[in-house]
Amino acid sequence: MTAREAVRSDSPPPLPSRQSRLFLITASMLAAGWGITLALLALFTANPVMLNREQILGSPYVVTGTVVGDPSAGRVSVEREWKKSALAGTITVENLAAVGARPGIAYVIPLSRPDDAFRVTEAPFAGGAPLIYPATPDAIRQLQAILGRQEVTPTR
């Protein structure tokens, strides 16, 4: 081995070229942008509200109302009753705490009255679980479509 060959093998590896670094930075930025885009899509489009059609149609009463105070007390301030227009004011719903209701939140609540008390109607295709739904504009549109009503709500 000559002295010249010894120097070559002991020298550090060559630095990456400017073009390689530019490619790596561009690829990293694209990957980060893609990750942020996916995170935003998941945040804003995940878990849309889907009303159970059979539960809505099988309920004698469907109200939009806000939970008043502790959900274990079962008090709901009725904003609107969609089927019979028979309920107004504040009502008591026996199994409201069991469905995960939170105070101060407006919900679409399918109700039945098997005895003297209101109960959230069990959903036939959800394992018989009682379901309530956040009263979002999309949920109200679905409710209107299920009940066959096309009402126009004023925009602000």
pLDDT at 12: 66
Q: HSE of 58 in the Cβ direction (CA atoms, 13 Å)?
A: 15
- The predicted structure's pLDDT at residue 152: 43
pLDDT tens for residues 70-112?
999 999 999 999 998 888 999 999 999 999 999 999 999 999 9
> Of 5 and 119, which is predicted with more confidence?
119
pLDDT greater at residue 156 or residue 132: 132
Instruction: Compute the mean pLDDT over every residue in the chain, rounded to the nearest whole number.
Output: 86
Nearest Cα to 91, choosing from 104, 73, 103? 73
Q: Is the pLDDT of residue 150 over 60?
A: no
Tell me how far the alpha carbon of residue 145 is from its chain's centroid: 19
| Average confidence (pLDDT) over 39-68 | 90
Distance CA(68)–CA(133), nearest Å, equals: 16
What local confidence, expressed as pLDDT, does residue 156 receive?
38
Q: How confident is the model at residue 41 (pLDDT cuts 50, 70, 90)?
A: confident
* pLDDT tens per residue, range 5-26: 555 556 666 666 888 888 899 9
- The predicted pLDDT at position 14 comes to 65
For 92-113, letters b (16+ CB in 10 Å) and e give ebebbeeeebeeeebbbbbbbe
Mean pLDDT of 49-77: 93
Instruction: Specify the pTM.
Output: 0.68
